[in-house]
Each structure stands twice: as structure tokens, then as C-alpha cells.
Amino acid sequence: MKTNIKFPYILLIAFLLITSSSYSQQNTKAKADPLPSWNAGNVKKSIIDFVTKTTKKGSADFVPVADRIACFDNDGTLWTEMPLPFQLFFVIDRIKAMAPQHPEWKNTQPYKGILEGDMKAALAGGEKALGEMIMTTHAGMTTDEFDNTVKEWMATATHPKTGKHYNEMVYQPMLELLYYLRANGYKTFIVSGGGIDFIRVWAEQAYGIPPYQVVGSSVKVKYDTTGTQPVFIKLAELNFFDDKLGKPVGIHEHIGKRPVFTAGNSDGDYGMMQYTSTGNGPRFGLYIHHTDAVREYAYDRESSLARLSKGLDDAAKYHWVVVDMKTDWKKIYPFDK
Amino acid sequence: MKTNIKFPYILLIAFLLITSSSYSQQNTKAKADPLPSWNAGNVKKSIIDFVTKTTKKGSADFVPVADRIACFDNDGTLWTEMPLPFQLFFVIDRIKAMAPQHPEWKNTQPYKGILEGDMKAALAGGEKALGEMIMTTHAGMTTDEFDNTVKEWMATATHPKTGKHYNEMVYQPMLELLYYLRANGYKTFIVSGGGIDFIRVWAEQAYGIPPYQVVGSSVKVKYDTTGTQPVFIKLAELNFFDDKLGKPVGIHEHIGKRPVFTAGNSDGDYGMMQYTSTGNGPRFGLYIHHTDAVREYAYDRESSLARLSKGLDDAAKYHWVVVDMKTDWKKIYPFDK
């Protein structure tokens, strides 16, 4: 029996050799092509032309380093958001984990629906029910306790379709775009409808974006000094909702400069895309259109959760560049072959 | 007559030669001494020892670059705050400038007091009166209009004692400290009870601190698209008060990491100093004690506006380093001889 579960060290070594060699190959390639996972075409060309003209000294469209602000939506723009935005899987998993301490949930919606796998029943209460589930799982603990819960969940939970951890389901082309912008003096920010405390836990590792460059939704926190160490307690009270018209407001409050570059994928990003594109001087708006039902998901106008409709209608008006995921992206995830 | 007012170009050239030579001398010196305007002593030694040990690879107290967060109060820590915090001079000047459009102010407090130079009468209404004056001068306009007003005021208004523009009254030793920390991989943030929109207008030029590294008090803003261009309208509603226990909360919301280094000068900074100093690993708290009535101002426990009392009492407990402005600072302002 023992030999069967012995760890195959030789395979591990082979794996490390292969991945380190493919990593150095990728680095060599990157010098010639900053966006190797983007297929040649108008979208890739527009991005490279824009970055070139805004960073070349003497260019009529030169943007000083201090003004090179790039804002990215997260769900559906930097990582997948289907079949549900990933933070909702966290909510569901937390409710299941907390249920033993709450026997009353067996007979109370929306918890009953979650515990019985009946999402329709759980969400019958609409925004109020959703809000209650978010507060139950995102408030009433210290920020350190919350951070640890997110870390543990991210290390263990897996996506129902790919079986991968959620933070592995980031888009390889967008990672390259983030890196390319930063290599050219742009500061990259996340501006998400998702929870700021949730995203900050893993964004630095996943995207190279530090906590102070994450803008998101939040509950109020209280600085509490009654224990042996000061802590922040997350309160069941909304502080800021960073979606739709909240996004430009979040950018103003948190960043204080109008972005030069923005990327989004839904009408929830329309406000920040519009705010970006109506500024003077060169501006770039990138809309990710989910068109790849095989490698990822295909949805836009019809989808109830993450509709892209007004954004497609007004793309030409604002000179937004629309990514056709199926044709523009050579690979979707870092783990794709 | 004409010859009398002819501009003395020869003096201008001489001035430029002298200042550029003293600038290059300062640069040469700075290589040997990163804090030339700090007198030798325990405070200067503590700062240099701390920066050295937290940035030296292999040091037991090494702090990774990603965690090198330094937070600075503004009023009384980076620039003077007497005889009034400078933003209140802005409030007073704005009320005077707006008065012709508000004839009713002649008979209504707190405006009547401001217009007649009777501050006691203006402030008799306490916090409510102060809050009303702040909203009158900080809300009801677009953020662009507000920014322009602050810029114009900063370029024209002068301090009652020194006759200098307010943004000239920044502390030379603190400018050197900001620069020294940044040169050693620290990110420098302002965490001020003052208005975030007010500070952002001039902080990048004065301190080298970009808008997205300013945390401060704010009113709510509304993203408005009813005109030809989207604008933010500043509403007469408090969004966040970044003072006292609000400071650690502002740090959590805006930065999302516990600072390693903090500097303050009043009990309003106690919370953020405490939050910093109760973290694990090396932490540095710097309290500026205003002890120089000749070159600046002297005040602490007795002052009603910017009291430093609890901070002095607990300095030893938290290992805070207290700057004695009179003996520790070789010069106060950049314009000092």
C-alpha cells in the first residue's frame, strides 16, 4: 500500500524543468511581442498603437507618467464571472460552512434554499435576500478573520466547470496587458463592483495589483480598541457600492484622476468607460465581449447577470474597442495549452 | 520713470546661478546625509537606523517593498497649521469672495462674523457653524470648479505672519524625510483630517505625493451626465471624516495595509499612530512637537485647536519618537536661510 501513495519526485522535477524552460521561452518572446496571447488584428494593434503614442516623448498624444492611470473591472474582465460571479460562490460556501452554528437556517430563506441547493428559492427574495446573505458572510467579524477566510476558501474551493481554483481562472491576455501597461509607466487599478476586502486578499499575487490600487464595494468598518490589540470590525452596513454610476465616483474618491485607459465587460462598467472616454486628450476604452462558449462562456444582451447591451450600442460613439474573445484571444487561461 | 521699473535681469541671472549652485551642493551633500535639515541627535539617528534595518536584505527587521507603507498627517506635520489650519483660511477667503452674491450673509451668522472679521462671533455656533461654512465653500459646485478655486487661492493668498503662499510653508525636514523614504522603496501617503479634494490639488507638486496616495475627509459627490460633459457635483453631505478614530479606518479603506511608518503631530493622529505601532514587526511612529515659537509656533497640551496631550503621555509606551522642532530641525521652511 505504501508504495502506491509514494510521491513521484521524478515527475515533480520533470515538471519544474519543463515549466521553467517554457517560462524563460515566454520571457524571450515577450521582448518581441508584448501581448503574445493576443491574436494579430485590429484590437491588438489598437492597444499597442495607443500605448506607443502615449508614452513616446515628442508624440502629440504623449501622456506624462503621473497621468498614466489605467482602470480595470474585475468580474468578466480580469477573471471569469460565470456561471456566477465568483464572490457569490464564496457566499454560498460560507453559508454552508456557518450553517451548523445556525440551525434556524434550515427553515429560513434565503439560507434554506442555499443549503438545499435550490438557488431559485434562495434568490426569490431578490436584492434584499442577496444583501442579507452578503452581510451575513461579510460582516460581524474582524478584517483579519475575513481575510483568512477568503485565503482559505481561495486555496480550497474549485470552479464547477473547470475544477480549477478561482484565482487560476484569470485571463492570460489581460495579465499580459496589465504587465505591458505597467512596463510603460501606467499605474493599474481594479475598479470592481465586487468587495474591496475580498479582492485585496489575492489581487496582489494574481495581478500584481497592490491593495491600495483596488477600488471596490465595501461595508463600514469600526476601529475597535477594546481588546488586547486594535482590530477593525466589519459592520453589516453598506459603505459604498462600486458599480454602475458608483464606478466613476469610486474612481474620483479613491484615485482622484481621470483614467486614460479603462477596460470593462458589462453595462455596469459603462459609467467608468464613459468618464474615461469623455476626457480631453488620448483615451482608450476596451470592452471584453464574451463570445467563446467553448473555451469560456458566451453572453451579452440576453444574460440577466452581466448584460452587455448599452456598451455595445455606444461603442462606436465613444471609440471603444471591443474584444471578440473567440477570435482575439489565443488562449484564455494561463493553464490553457 | 520707465528705467525705474525695468526688470533687473542681471539680478535674476545672478539669483539663478546662486540657487542652482546651492541646489547641486545640496544634492552632493544628500549622498552623504539623506536628512541635511535635521540636526544630529537621537531623532535623526532613529529614523536612519529604522530605514536602514527595514530595507537591508538579510536584516532581521527587513520589510518587503510591497509592505513599505508610510502615512503622514498633513496639518502641523507636513506644513504649518497656525494661527488656523490653512484650509480654514480658504473657507474665510471664499466666504468673502462669495458674499456679493449672498447679501443676506450681512445679517446671518456665521457669515456676518467672517465678513466683519469677528471670528469669535462666527465660531460661536460651534461645530454646526463650522460645518455649515465648510459645506457652503466645498459643495454645490463641480469638482473641476472647486479644483480651480483652490489653485487660484493657493497662487494668490498669503499667510498672515510670513507673507508666504501657504504651499511654501511646508517643512523642509519633512520633505527630506518623504524623499528619503521613497528613495528606499517606501510608498508615502497623506492621511489628513483636511479635505481630500483640497489637498490633492497641490500635494503632488508640494510633496511628490500623487492624488491616489492622499486620504482625507470628503463630501459625497454625484456623477452627473445631464450636461454636455459628465461632471462630478460636490454635495453638501459628509462622506467621510478622516480624523481621530477615522484615520485608521481611512487607512484600511483607502490603503488596505497597515503602515510601517507614521508621522503625526496631534491627538487627532493618535489612532493611526497606535494602529501602526501595534502591528507585528518593526514599526516607527514620529510625533512632531511644536516647540519653536520663534521660527514657527509653540503649542501642545494647552492649545484648543491642535492639542497634543495623549500622544505625549503614551509616546514611551508605543516607542514613538518625539521631534523637538526647536532642537531637531536645522531649518523649518525651504525659504529659511
Q: In B, which residues are within 8 Å of A245 by CB distance?
A: 223
Which residue is closest to B198 within chain A, CA to CA? A256
Q: Are strands A187-195 and A69-72 parallel, antiparallel or unpaired?
A: parallel
Mean pLDDT of the region B24-48? 81
Residue written as cell 489612532? B271
Alpha-carbon gap, residue A189 to A255, rounded angstroms: 9
| Mean predicted lDDT score pLDDT of chain A | 92
User: How close does chain B come to A268, measured CA to CA in Å?
Assistant: 14
For residue A260, CA distances in Å to A64, A204, A248 come to 11, 22, 13
- ipTM, two decimals, is 0.89
Which of B212, B228, B241 should be substituted to probe chain A, the one whose Cβ sees the most A Cβ atoms within 10 Å? B212
Q: Does the CB of B143 have a partner CB in chain A at under 8 Å?
A: yes
Query: What is the model's pLDDT at position A159?
Result: 98
User: How close does chain B come to A245, measured CA to CA in Å?
Assistant: 7
Q: Residues B220-273: pLDDT tens digits?
A: 999 999 999 999 999 999 999 999 999 999 999 999 999 999 999 999 999 999
CB B248 within 8 A of CB B275: yes
Which residue is closest to A197 within chain B, CA to CA? B256
Query: What is the model's pLDDT at position A217?
Result: 98
Query: What is the model's pLDDT at position A31?
Result: 60
Q: What percent of chain B has pLDDT over 90?
A: 88
Strand partners, B233: B142, B222
State whether B143 and A218 contact (CB < 8 Å): no
CB B165 within 8 A of CB B123: no
The whole-angstrom distance between residue B101's C-alpha and the CA centroid of its chain comes to 31
Query: What is the model's pLDDT at position A10?
Result: 47
Looking at the predicted structure, is the pLDDT value of residue A1 above 80?
Answer: no
Helix (H, G, I), strand (E, B) or coil at A218: strand
Which of these, B210, B178, B215, B187, lies nearest to B334 by C-alpha position?
Answer: B178
State whether B248 and A223 contact (CB < 8 Å): yes
Alpha-carbon gap, residue B317 to B301, rounded angstroms: 18
Q: Does the CB of A259 have a partner CB in chain B at under 8 Å?
A: no
Q: Does the CB of A214 have a partner CB in chain B at under 8 Å?
A: yes
Query: What is the model's pLDDT at position B334?
Result: 98
Helix (H, G, I), strand (E, B) or coil at A230: coil
User: How close does chain A come to B226, measured CA to CA in Å?
Assistant: 13
Q: Residues A15-42: pLDDT tens digits?
A: 444 444 444 444 444 468 999 999 999 9
User: Positive or negative, the Cα torsion across B155, B158, B159, B161?
Assistant: positive
State whether A221 and B253 contact (CB < 8 Å): yes
Q: How confident is the model at residue B174 (pLDDT cuts 50, 70, 90)?
A: very high
Q: How confident is the model at residue B7 (pLDDT cuts 50, 70, 90)?
A: very low
Looking at the predicted structure, is the pLDDT value of residue A7 above 60?
Answer: no
270-299 in A: which are within 8 Å (CB) of B?
271, 274-275, 278
State whether A230 and B211 contact (CB < 8 Å): no
Neighbour-count burial for A129-151, b at 16+ CB within 10 Å, e otherwise: beeebbbbbbbebbbeebbebbe
Mean pLDDT of the region A146-162? 98
Which of these, B256, B207, B248, lies nearest to B69 by C-alpha position?
Answer: B256
Q: Does the CB of A204 have a partner CB in chain B at under 8 Å?
A: yes
Which residue is closest to A219 within chain B, CA to CA? B253
| Mean predicted lDDT score pLDDT of chain B | 92
Q: Does the CB of A89 have a partner CB in chain B at under 8 Å?
A: no
Query: What is the model's pLDDT at position B302?
Result: 78
Q: In A, which residues are within 8 Å of B222 by CB distance?
A: 249
Q: Which of B66, B223, B278 sits opposite A271 (nearest CB)?
A: B223
Which of B235, B252, B314 should be substituted to probe chain A, the one whose Cβ sees the most A Cβ atoms within 10 Å? B252
User: How close does chain A come to B257, measured CA to CA in Å?
Assistant: 7
Q: In B, which residues are within 8 Å of A66 by CB distance?
A: 204, 210
Query: What is the model's pLDDT at position B11?
Result: 46
Q: Residues B117-150: pLDDT tens digits?
A: 998 999 999 999 999 999 999 999 999 999 999 9
Q: What domains can be seen in chain B, in order of their start residue? A: 36-84+163-328 (3.40.50.1000), 86-156 (no CATH)
Query: What is the model's pLDDT at position A307?
Result: 87
State whether B257 and A225 contact (CB < 8 Å): no
Q: What is the pTM of this model?
A: 0.90
Q: Residues A161-210: pLDDT tens digits?
A: 999 999 999 999 999 999 999 999 999 999 999 999 999 999 999 999 99
Which residue is closest to B208 within chain A, CA to CA? A66
Q: How confident is the model at residue B304 (pLDDT cuts 50, 70, 90)?
A: low
